[in-house]
């Protein structure tokens, strides 16, 4: 197990290097001009001399490889540079926001896994039954619905029609302090929407896995031995039916990140979403590179966790495989 | 037994329903907006920085800071950190400001002349990444005389300079000790203004608290929050949900609040124009007869009615028709027949498909607009449709500024702008021939010696009558040879809860600053008891 982790960590280094270089290369090739992005509307009345001075100050006229190397070497010493769009150090910019994004994504993920598993097992019990058909068709419908649209729908229904939940922000709009209670009530809608957008995959995988397992010999044997339906379902079928879901957990991470970006916009959630979009369209190299490293690390970590869980759940799968 | 447990369940369910209903009533109200001394408004833009050294609040009215001068409701200059309007000497080349006594920054430290010098010198420093520093181009040096006098020395006589000194003053003892471009001052500012920043939750909101020691008196609205909600529909939704007391809205969404008994709708008059640049470098758009024909051949009234839902007015130049600087008699009424006659007389004859031709040149040119900007798209399409009716083919295309800028010398652009403080601010950069192609200045490469001369006279002269005469000349020249087709001036629309009483708006620039809208003077609001 330790060997698997060590090998993956070693493998992550070249991947991260390649990804950051890719970000710099793509950003440099993009048609966006970082100086215009920095200047914003003020740039529309600025003189060429002023714009040229900005270009030199921001260091964006230097070659791609030099900028990447500078960023890399200072990043290794813990200095991630300054974000040009947010006018503050990258570490501060990310530090202020990432916690809220992680809270949102983690809550949504846990809800999606638990709810998805429950619904999947229920559906698998009676394949073709009314519950199965209802759950499956709901899952297919949700699969096609974009999180942005789900978010607007949720705001309209829960905040406007029912008036039971706040429609956006981290805390009540007029409040200047952040309390756990307020964050919890403000988290319900965004996390709910994000969870629901992730739900279909878990439901469908669990339903398939458990359904298949119910037809397997060990399960049929367990039934034949007269074990309770509950034990058969949860003890035997679910255990082997969950294996594909564990792999799914890792592969859903990228989708979760993009989903979170959209959901944060709809709910004015102060996560890293807005910063990410801004960093990309403004060619804010330091911020963009740091965010990309984070996203890549999250994906790699997601895959590692999935493999570890797989190994734990099914002893037949070795950690060195 | 069985019956009792059912009743019990029923009671529990009822209790739960009541609890839900109760929370339904109170939840949105918890926004705190019920309190009379709190105001929550929804805005569409988030500033990148709150540091005046990087350009925040440069047009005045920043809430956290004060400038030497500020604007009243009619955009007239009045003293703020200065004790009086400046003394101007040496033919508009030296401006002397006496400072108000006893003013303190919100951290308790006194404000003095050295803070003013620090602010201006830092902005002008080459190392400071301030994109608006061109606006202070006239400044040669800033000098402190004692603690309470500041003298600006200018490179050339510049009559509207006092208008530039509304820019906020930063404290040297805080901002001087850190990296001006990325230091903590950019997110945690300290100023002399009526409000102190409590918290800036990026991407969510800015929370302000009244400054009890404000030199202008403590504001009645003690807590002021600006929620950052970029999407127009979501902003309207949160207004409906009771989470906001006010918001800026586009015309189509603001419409429904007109009949709302609990809210007032405000239409702020603006200098915010939409214009088509007609580049001199284009054989067709650069032709004076084509320009004149388009000037009378486009139906501005229809654009105001259909694109702006009536919330705006026709524009004939950068100066709006209701401004005292506007030259009466330069309005161009829509007259397609007259436009066609101009073209006929000039030899632009209808060719195949009704498109006119002259000397083998087809009357057509491309018109670019910023992609994603619905308002500009609508203007561009209306313009093209009107042009087609008089036999000129305008091809509408969209792109980002990166795509558009290199094409500006040859292709037309649907642009926007507008600065109400002084006519010089817009017109000099828009029309001066020597600034053609300098960044986004003079996008149309307009070149008219009479206009050039009038622009110089207007900025040098401190005499109002002389300036008015110069701007009259410019507006008349723009009728004879329009380098731009000005289309509309756009009202900015706001909706605010009636409990704050009847509010006012200032004349607004193109930029939506944080403190535009009815909350431009939130420190003076007198909420109803």
What's chain B's length in residues?
529
The Cβ-side half-sphere exposure at B281, using a 13 Å CA radius, reads 15
CB B144 within 8 A of CB B150: yes
Query: Is residue B491 a contact partner of residue B311, using CB atoms and an 8 Å limit?
Result: yes
The predicted pLDDT at position B529 comes to 63
* Closest CA–CA distance from residue A283 to any residue of chain B (Å): 13
Residue B277 bridge partners (DSSP): B484
Asked whether residue B19 carries a pLDDT value surpassing 50, the answer given is no
Cα gap B465→B454, rounded to integer Å: 13
Give the number of other CB atoms < 10 A from CB of residue A134: 13
pLDDT in tens, A207-248: 888 888 888 887 888 878 888 878 887 777 887 777 777 778
Q: Give the whole-angstrom CA distance, residue A107 versus residue A210.
A: 25
Determine phi and psi for B393, rounding to 5 degrees: -95, 115
What residues pair up with B495 in beta bridges, in sequence order? B247, B265
Reply yes or no on whether the pLDDT at B189 is more than 60: yes
Compute how many other C-beta atoms are within 10 angstroms of the C-beta atom of residue A128.
Answer: 9
Residues of A in contact with B202 (CB under 8 A): 86, 93, 96-97, 270, 274-275
Q: How far is B126 from chain A (nearest CA, A)?
A: 7
Coil, strand or helix: which one is B144?
strand
The percentage of residues in chain B with a pLDDT greater than 70, rounded to a whole number, is: 93
**Which pLDDT band holds residue B34 (cuts at 50, 70, 90)?**
low
DSSP A30: S
pLDDT band at B51 (very low <50, low <70, confident <90, very high): very high
Instruction: pLDDT band for B107, please (50, 70, 90 cuts).
Output: very high
B469-528 pLDDT, tens digit each = 999 999 999 999 999 999 999 999 999 999 999 999 999 988 766 778 999 999 999 887
> What integer is the mean pLDDT of B146-152?
95
Q: Characterise B416 by phi-psi region: left (phi > 0), alpha (psi -120 to 50), beta (else).
A: beta
Return the pLDDT at A318: 62
The pLDDT-based confidence of A319 (bands split at 50, 70, 90) is: low
The secondary structure of B9-64 as a DSSP string is HHHHHHHHHHHHHHHHHHTGGGGTTTSTTEEEEEES---S---GGGTTTTTS--SS
Residues with Cβ within 8 Å of A314's Cβ and at least 6 positions away in sequence, in order, are A240, A243
Task: Kindly tell me if the per-residue pLDDT of A285 is higher than 50.
Answer: yes
- CB of A87 closer than 8 Å to CB of A279: no
User: Does the ipTM exceed 0.85?
Assistant: no
Q: What percent of chain A has pLDDT over 90?
A: 14
Average pLDDT on A2-11 reads 86
Nearest alpha-carbon partner for B104 in B152, B175, B169, B166: B169
- Ranked by mean pLDDT, the top range of B30-39, B237-246, B328-337 is B328-337
* pLDDT class of A266 with cuts at 50, 70, 90: confident
Give residue B83's pLDDT. 96
Q: Tell me the three state secondary structure of residue B182.
A: coil
Radius of gyration of chain B (CA): 27
Percentage of chain A exceeding pLDDT 70: 98
pLDDT in tens, A15-72: 888 988 988 888 888 877 888 888 877 777 778 888 888 888 888 888 888 888 888 8
* Nearest C-alpha in A relative to B24: A164
Q: Does B21 touch chain A (CB under 8 A)?
A: no
Segment (H or E) for B486: strand B484-490
CB-side exposure of B445: number of CA atoms within 13 Å?
A: 16
Q: Which of A267, A300, A110, A100 has its CA nearest to residue A199?
A: A110
Which B positions 99-138 lie with beta carbon below 8 A of chain A?
Answer: 126-127, 129, 131-135, 137
- What is the model's pLDDT at position B7? 42
How large is the angle between the packed helices A90-125 and A285-313, nearest 10 degrees?
30
Residues B474, B427: contact at Cβ < 8 Å? Answer: yes
**CB crowding A223-255: b at 16 or more within 10 Å, else e:** beeeeeeeebbeebbbbbbbbebbebbbebbee
- Using CB atoms and an 8 Å cut-off, which of residues 267-286 of chain A contact chain B? 268-271, 273-275
> pLDDT of B344-374, one tens digit each?
999 999 988 889 999 999 999 999 998 878 8
* pLDDT above 50 (res B4): no
**pLDDT at residue B23 in the model:** 39
Rounded Cα gap, residues B458 and B473, in angstroms: 10
Which one has a higher pLDDT value, B408 or A4? Answer: B408
B39, B48, B188, best to mutate vs chain A, most A CBs in 10 Å: B48
Which tokens in the block code for residue A44?
């529309």
What residues in B contact A28, CB-CB < 8 Å? none
**Number of neighbouring beta carbons within 10 Å of residue B398:** 17
| Predicted confidence (pLDDT) at residue B248 exceeds the cutoff of 70 | yes
Q: In the numeric block, which tokens belong to residue B42?
A: 């929804």
**Residues B439-453: tens digit of each pLDDT:** 788 999 999 999 999
**Comparing A116-120, B82-86, B88-92, which segment has the lowest mean pLDDT?**
B88-92
* Average pLDDT score over chain B: 89
Confidence of residue B35 (pLDDT cuts 50, 70, 90): low
Per-residue pLDDT at B378: 94
Tokens 């398939």 sit at which residue?
A208
- Confidence class of residue B168 from pLDDT cuts 50, 70 and 90? very high
Do the Cβ atoms of B441 and A168 come within 8 Å? no
Report whether pLDDT(B27) > 50. no
Size of the A and B interface in Cβ pairs below 8 Å? 190
B31 pLDDT higher than 70: no
pLDDT tens string B392-407: 999 999 988 888 988 9
Cβ under 8 Å to B: A residues 189-218: none
Minimum-distance CB partner of B234 among A53, A155, A175: A155
Sheet bearing B393-399, strands edge to edge: B312-314, B484-490, B273-277, B412-417, B364-370, B393-399
Tell me the chain A residues in contact with residue B46 when contact means C-beta distances shorter than 8 Å: 274
**Which residues of chain B from 373 to 402 reach within 8 Å of chain A, CB to CB?**
400-402
Convert the pLDDT of each residue in A73-116 to its tens digit: 988 888 888 888 888 899 988 998 899 999 999 999 999 999 99
pLDDT band, very low/low/confident/very high, at B21 (cuts 50, 70, 90): very low
pLDDT score of A253: 81
Instruction: Check whether A8 has a pLDDT greater than 80.
Output: yes
pLDDT above 70 for A270? yes
Residues 6 or more apart whose CB falls under 8 angstroms from that of B253 comprise B232, B233, B236
């Amino acid at each position: 197990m330790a060997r698997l982790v060590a090998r993956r960590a070693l493998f992550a280094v070249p991947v991260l290097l390649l990804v950051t270089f890719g970000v710099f290369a793509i950003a440099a090739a993009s048609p966006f001009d970082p100086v215009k992005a920095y200047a914003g509307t003020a740039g529309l009345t600025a003189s060429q001399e002023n714009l040229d001075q900005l270009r030199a100050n921001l260091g964006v006229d230097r070659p791609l490889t030099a900028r990447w190397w500078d960023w890399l070497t200072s990043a290794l010493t813990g200095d991630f540079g300054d974000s040009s769009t947010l006018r503050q150090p990258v570490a501060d910019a990310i530090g202020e926001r990432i916690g809220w994004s992680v809270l949102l994504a983690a809550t949504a993920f846990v809800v999606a896994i638990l709810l998805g598993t429950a619904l999947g097992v229920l559906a698998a019990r009676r394949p073709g039954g009314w519950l199965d058909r209802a759950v499956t068709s709901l899952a297919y419908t949700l699969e096609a619905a974009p999180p942005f649209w789900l978010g607007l729908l949720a705001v309209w229904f829960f905040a406007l029609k029912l008036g039971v939940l706040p429609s956006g922000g981290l805390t009540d709009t007029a409040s200047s302090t952040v309390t756990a209670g307020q964050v919890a009530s403000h988290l319900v809608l965004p996390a709910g929407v994000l969870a629901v957008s992730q739900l279909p995959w878990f439901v469908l995988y669990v339903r398939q896995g458990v359904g298949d397992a119910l037809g397997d010999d060990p399960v049929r044997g367990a039934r034949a031995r007269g074990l309770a339906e509950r034990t058969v379902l949860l003890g035997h079928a679910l255990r082997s039916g969950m294996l594909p879901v564990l792999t799914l957990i890792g592969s859903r991470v990228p989708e979760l990140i993009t989903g979170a970006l959209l959901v944060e916009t709809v709910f004015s959630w102060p996560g890293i979403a807005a910063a990410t979009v801004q960093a990309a369209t403004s060619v804010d190299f330091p911020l963009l590179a740091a965010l990309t490293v984070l996203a890549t690390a999250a994906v790699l970590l997601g895959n590692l966790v999935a493999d570890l869980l797989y190994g734990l759940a099914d002893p037949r799968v070795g950690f060195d495989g | 037994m069985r019956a009792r447990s059912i009743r019990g369940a029923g009671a529990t369910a009822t209790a739960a329903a009541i609890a839900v209903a109760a929370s339904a009533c109170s939840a949105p109200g918890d926004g705190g907006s019920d309190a009379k001394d709190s105001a929550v408004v929804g805005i569409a833009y988030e500033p990148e920085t709150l540091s005046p050294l990087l350009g925040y609040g440069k047009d005045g009215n920043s809430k956290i800071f004060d400038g030497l001068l500020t604007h009243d409701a009619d955009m007239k200059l009045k003293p703020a950190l200065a004790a009086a309007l400046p003394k101007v000497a040496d033919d508009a080349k030296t401006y002397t400001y006496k400072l108000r006594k006893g003013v303190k920054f919100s951290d308790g430290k006194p404000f003095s002349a050295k803070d003013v010098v620090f602010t201006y010198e830092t902005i002008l420093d080459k190392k400071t990444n301030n994109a608006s520093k061109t606006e202070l181009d006239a400044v040669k040096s800033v000098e402190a005389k004692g603690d309470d006098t500041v003298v600006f020395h200018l490179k050339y006589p510049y009559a509207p300079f006092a208008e530039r000194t509304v820019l906020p003053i930063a404290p040297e003892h805080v901002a001087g000790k850190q990296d001006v471009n990325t230091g903590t001052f950019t997110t945690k500012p300290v100023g002399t203004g009526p409000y102190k920043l409590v918290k800036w939750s990026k991407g969510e909101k800015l929370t302000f608290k009244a400054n009890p020691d404000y030199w202008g008196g403590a504001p009645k609205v003690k807590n002021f929050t600006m929620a950052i909600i970029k999407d127009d529909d979501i902003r309207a939704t949160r207004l409906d949900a009771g989470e906001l007391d006010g918001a800026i809205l586009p015309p189509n969404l603001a419409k429904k609040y007109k009949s709302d008994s609990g809210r007032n709708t405000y239409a702020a008059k603006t200098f915010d124009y939409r214009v088509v640049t007609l580049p001199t470098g284009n054989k067709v758009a650069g032709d004076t007869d084509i320009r004149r024909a388009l000037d009378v051949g486009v139906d501005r009234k229809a654009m105001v009615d259909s694109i702006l839902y009536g919330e705006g007015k026709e524009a004939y130049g950068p100066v709006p028709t209701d401004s005292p600087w506007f030259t009466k008699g330069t309005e161009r009424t829509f007259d397609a027949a007259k436009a066609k006659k101009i073209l006929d007389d000039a030899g632009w004859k209808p060719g195949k498909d009704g498109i006119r031709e002259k000397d083998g040149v087809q009357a057509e040119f491309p018109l670019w607009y910023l992609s994603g900007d619905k308002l500009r798209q609508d203007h561009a399409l209306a313009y093209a449709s009107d042009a087609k009716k008089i036999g000129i083919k305008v091809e509408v295309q969209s792109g980002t500024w990166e795509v558009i800028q290199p094409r500006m010398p040859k292709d037309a652009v649907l642009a926007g702008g507008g600065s109400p403080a002084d006519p010089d601010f817009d017109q000099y950069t828009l029309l001066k021939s020597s600034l053609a192609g300098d960044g986004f200045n003079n996008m149309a490469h307009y070149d008219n010696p009479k206009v050039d001369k009038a622009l110089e006279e207007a900025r040098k002269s401190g005499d109002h009558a002389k300036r008015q005469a110069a701007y009259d000349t410019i507006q008349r020249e723009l009728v004879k040879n329009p380098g731009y087709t000005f289309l509309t001036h756009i009202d900015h629309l706001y909706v605010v809860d009636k409990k704050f009483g009847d509010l006012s708006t200032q004349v607004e620039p193109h930029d939506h600053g944080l403190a535009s809208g009815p909350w431009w003077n939130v420190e003076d609001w007198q909420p109803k008891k």
